[in-house]
Amino acid sequence: NVDTVFSVGTPLFAMLFIAVIGLIIFVAVRNYRKAKSAGFDPLTLETELMARAANSAMLAPEKSLEDKLAELDSLHSRGIITRDEYLQARRDALSV
């Protein structure tokens, strides 16, 4: 009978709906607390992570050979790397 289906189905649906809402709230609270304990602002976490990814070296375009050699020349002329380090790095850059 249709009345029986509605009389059993409606409370069952309501309980399931409340359980799903409760689960969503539980997960949101756990994520909020985890982000806070990790030192992030939970309300801006996604934006912070996207900004870090955008500024990471992994997403940066690869330097040209000319740029790499110019950087090596600069490091050597400023005394940051020795002549041997300079020559080795230059060989490595040219062998790629």
Gap between the Cα atoms of 58 and 23, Å rounded: 36
User: Where do the domains of the chain lie?
Assistant: 1-60, 61-96
What percent of the chain has a predicted confidence (pLDDT) above 70?
99
pLDDT score at 8: 82
Gap between the Cα atoms of 96 and 84, Å rounded: 19
**Where is mean pLDDT largest: 3-7, 21-25, 52-56?**
21-25
59 Cβ contact partners less than 8 Å away, ≥ 6 residues apart? 53
Angle between helices 65-77 and 83-95 (to 10 degrees): 180
The pair of three-digit structure tokens given for residue 60, joined into one six-digit string = 């940066």
